[in-house]
Chain A
Amino acid sequence: MARTARMPIRAQRNDRHNILMRHPRILANVGRDEFVGRDAELRQLVSYAQRTDPERGLIVLGAPNAGTSEFLRQAYDELFLGRSYSIPVYFAFGKSGSPAETAAEFFQSFLRQYIAYRRVDPTLSTVPLTLHDLAELALPTDYEAVTLLLESFERERAGGDGISFLRFCLNVPRKLGTETKRRFFPLVDCVGLAGAEKEQVAIGREVVRAFLRRDQYVAIGGLRRHLRNLINTAGAPQDNNETINLDQLSDDRSAELLDRLGRRMSVDSNEQTRDLIAQQLNGSPFFITALAQAARDRHTPLTSFLNCQRLYVDELMGGRIGRHFSDLIEHIAPQAQTRRTLLRVLYESGLSETRKASVFAWKKRLGVEASEFDRVIEALHIHELANSSGGSMVELNTGSTAWMDYLRAHYQMEVAGEARALTVASALLETLKRAPQAMARKYRREAALGLNELLARFNCQELPSSLFHYERFAEAHTGVDTDTVNAALDAEADLLRVPQIVHVADCGAFTASARTEEKRCAVGHGFDAADYTDESETVWIAAEIDSKLEASAELTKEWCDRLLHVARECNFNRTHLWLISPEGFTFEASALLRERGAYSSSHQQIELLAARLAPPAEAKPPDTGVEYEMVIPMGADTELISAHTVEQIARRINFRPEAINQIKLALVEACINAAEHSLSPDRKIYQRFRVESDKLVVTVASRGVVPAKVIDQNGGQDGEARSRRGWGLKLIKSLMDEVEFERVDDGTQLRMTKYRK
């Protein structure tokens, strides 16, 4: 029997994937492999386009500069190349001025893309073609329908009513679909309509009304605040639409994007600088690309914080990032004097603690007509430069670092009249000083226990009570291995039923005065039992506190007071406080917590608790080392591996046994120090052992941050044994001949030298 050679389904999928990744782009500006961090969203859109039940539209709500237009263009390319069930048609509104111009452009673009798809010729999607060309290029089977459309188009255009003509053109995909029995999938890009100009508002309404119907396939994308308003004011159905949220990229995806851009543009970068840029540009693909382009244009590698910040400041002052904000501000306030006042009002709002001011005060200071004032506020709001809910207050949006930096710099130059050189210099100094702090915040966020996620998993489970009472836990389980602790917890009779938590957010989201760090203090609202009554309503406030040893009563009291203040300020009823300290709490602190009815846990308890609420994560295999250079994971006594390695090296070069022991202990202490204090993002310790003719130089480095007070503690105190801990660096200094502790761009490095005597 003859066998037909068929490609396995998986191979076919891979083949299609490869075609999509490698094929030249049609409408997209960047290659598919450089379009990072949107895979899930693209899959959702493509899957939507292939459905057969046209019941609701797809809304793509994009954050400013998150790449919404490019997302829709990438989707177009994917649907075109994938020859999907629907014919994709992309159009970006807001480029032309009047409704009539917009209508004509849309009509031509639509027909061009239809013919390109039918002829399987992507190049036709972008070339300028006259109406005559379009008729000539239509396939014979489409010719009649296309020429009829062209005749109608000319007739409607001659009618002279811009809005009627626009309605006619926006309805063309539907008409042609009916004529040809083909289905179109419009990808409607409304990002350019977010200008709040009268004409654009009118065009936006017509677009939404034409496409967002109950029975039409469509993906409409735009700036999230603008699009929601537009759908609302157009009276289009909004209850049943599917939604894709395009937020800024995560830190990892931002770093990946920069890495890929760097490879294409031949711009070197390293892990540290990529992380810094991701932090500083808040994951905006547009800003990240702008910085990479600037680095390429100036032949400046992104390999040090100094290079990155120089380029960043140049970008703010006159590069793509600066021009982006300047264009926006100019668009929002075209009059020079209003613009200047606007910069002043925005900047000064940022100086107040709440960053808010009354609408009345803004209006008075801006001194413009009521309608113009409303337009300015609306534009600031939709571009997320300020927040206004239409109420009595306007709040400066401080979420974007680049926006805040732009505002500060341009206020100094354009309003305060500062010399440009001074502004540049102070911006550069500030950003350099800020870089380690930004990284520290990132590492602290990443090193956080994930209280939000932990609280969110509370669902009326009954858990060993000792996991919430440090004193009891320490009494029963100190010095006991994990398996045995778990067995004891399994057998524990005293159980605590946790509530069902239905909403969790950072404490800072409830009150600005909380003085808590992101991801390290969480508020969970829920019910003690799954009966939703007033009586069972409860609020858990959980906070991670920093303490190297068991937390003292003083520190514990301070945190209890702080969290109670939050509860009072936010009118939380039935509040439970839960403090988490790495090493637990002292006897006195535990007594205080008992008195206050607060829960307390150490990191060990939290790990055990997390494991009980979810399956444990797989352990990562330890890294293996290389000759005279090794990387070890932090924890699990891995410092002994380093100690044995350095012992072998020191023996080879004939160090005396006493000196070998000193080197070993110094290395052990350095490793413990790195693991304890660095908030390392990768949890690794990098070591180099350099043998020279008369000495051995050992370098221990880790990424992350070491608080200044730790360095002082380590080095600054005398060796009073009863002061406990904090002896690491002092010990190292006593054991080795030379010790240098230095900060590097992203972390710390300890260099220790021992001479052969």
Chain B
Amino acid sequence: MADTPGATPIQARCVGDTAIIYASDYLNKLSGERIERECKRQLESGRHAVVINFRDTELVNSIGVSILMGVIDAAEQSKARIIFSDVNTHTANLFEMLGLTRHVSVVKDEEEALALTREGN
């Protein structure tokens, strides 16, 4: 588990070159910024792929989505891959509706995400 200094701990782990970050139950401005910060930290430390796992996420609001867009931008600039996993149907529809899925891979679970990162290598 990785901690952002001073923030409520955000769950994250690394599998090889890939960081897996776990989103909280409600993805809004504050929790979105925590994910953004953790992602940037992982990218700066040289990870080539980041998986954001939404297994606990019940609700994502539009500000949360806009912050995820920032995360996607940051990953693109670092030439890293970003994958969303364990997204519930409702949230997946929301990502689709707001055009996020054009910029990110959405997969069923972590295993599939890790497989995808291996393919990329």
Contacts and interface: CB of A to CB of B under 8 A. Distances in A.
Contacts of B89: 658
Contacts, number: 78
B66 interface: yes
A481 B61 contact: no
A662 B90 CA distance: 8
Contacts of B97: 719, 731, 734
A665 B99 contact: no
Interface in B62-81: 62-63, 65-66, 69-70, 73
Contact of A672 (B4, B61, B73, B94): B61
Contacts of B99: 719-722
Interface string A464-486: 00000000000001111100110
Contacts of A661: 59, 90
B90 A658 contact: yes
Indicate the member of A668, A669, A728 with the most B CB atoms within 10 Å.
A668
Contacts of A484: 5-7
A721 B69 contact: yes
B62 A731 contact: yes
B37 A672 contact: no
B4 A479 contact: yes
B110 interface: no
A662 B65 CA distance: 16
B22 to A, nearest CB: 15
B90 A725 contact: no
Contacts of B62: 669, 672, 725, 727-728, 731
Contact of B98 (A480, A640, A731): A731
B69 A724 contact: yes
B6 A721 contact: no
B65 A727 contact: yes
Contacts of A480: 4-7
B61 A479 contact: no
Nearest to B89: A658
A672 B36 CA distance: 20
A199 B77 CA distance: 84
- The main secondary structure of chain A at its interface with chain B is helix
A481 B8 contact: yes
Of the four ranges (under 10, 10 to 19, 20 to 34, 35 or more), the interface on chain B belongs to 20 to 34
B66 to A, nearest CB: 5
B59 A665 contact: yes
A661 B73 CA distance: 28
B28 interface: yes
B64 to A, nearest CB: 10
A399 to B, nearest CB: 41
Interface string A89-103: 000000000000000
A481 B28 contact: no
Interface string B33-71: 110110000000000000000000001011101100110
Contacts of B102: 721
B2 interface: no
A722 B71 CA distance: 11
A664 to B, nearest CB: 7
Interface in A446-495: 477-481, 484-485, 487-488
Nearest to A732: B62
A710 to B, nearest CB: 13
Given A665-B61, A727-B65, A731-B98, A478 B6 contact: no
Contact of A481 (B6, B59, B73): B6
B37 A727 contact: no
A721 B59 contact: no
A218 interface: no
Contacts of B100: 721
Chain A CB within 10 A, most for which of B6, B26, B62, B103: B62
A640 B26 contact: yes
A479 B30 contact: yes
A637 interface: yes
A640 B59 CA distance: 9
Interface in A630-676: 637, 639-640, 643, 658, 661-662, 664-665, 668-669, 672
Interface string A709-745: 0000000000111101101100100100000000000
A731 B97 CA distance: 8
Nearest to A483: B6
Contacts of B28: 637
Contacts of B36: 478-479
Interface of A: 477-481, 484-485, 487-488, 637, 639-640, 643, 658, 661-662, 664-665, 668-669, 672, 719-722, 724-725, 727-728, 731, 734
Given A721-B69, A721-B98, 6 more contacts: A480-B6, A484-B5, A662-B90, A665-B59, A724-B66, A731-B98
Q: Which 5 A-B pairs have the closest CB atoms?
A: A484-B6, A721-B99, A479-B33, A661-B90, A479-B34
